Amino acid sequence: AAYVAEVNAKGETIASRKASQNALGALGPLLPEILGGSADLAGSNLTIWKGCKSITGEDPNGNYLHYGVREFGMGAMMNGIALHGGFVPYGATFLIFMEYARNAVRMASLMKKRVIYVFTHDSIGLGEDGPTHQPIEQLTSLRTTPNLDTWRPADAVESAVAWKHA
């Protein structure tokens, strides 16, 4: 609640993915159970936050996973982490690439597991990559998935509230 009030008082106009990164930076240190990363799009999704530490083969004691270019694999790993318990997994990719993760998203929802998906680049008017990267029906698909809370924050305050809710 304090973080949401702080963001509201600032009144910043920033991209929702930057607001999401800021929320991770504020909440991450308070939530040692949070564990996540991006499907090889961290620079665009802004999922690397101050204080996160990469999990590597040499040092498994981190809280940030580099899932690689594998949205379904990312979703399946997050489901496994949620089923194991003790951690709250999150993963990010572009909204259009949700299509690759759809079955994992659906399974997490059907199992009522706490898995956080951060889908960025959700506009048909955004990006130099053209129509292959422009989501049209993906948000509707997510909103009709049973047991899945779908948020599309419009500003930094709504991004903070979405993370608080998650």
Alpha carbon distance 82, 121 (integer Å): 25
Let me know if 7 is exposed, middle or buried by CB neighbors in 10 A (0-12, 13-18, 19+). buried
HSE on the CB side for 18, CA within 13 Å? 6
Examine the residue annotation and report whether 33 is marked as an active-site residue of this protein.
no
Q: Where do we find the tokens 């009709």?
A: 144
Alpha carbon distance 34, 24 (integer Å): 9
Catalytic residue among 12, 33, 71, 137: 71
Indicate which residues carry an active-site annotation. Answer: 71
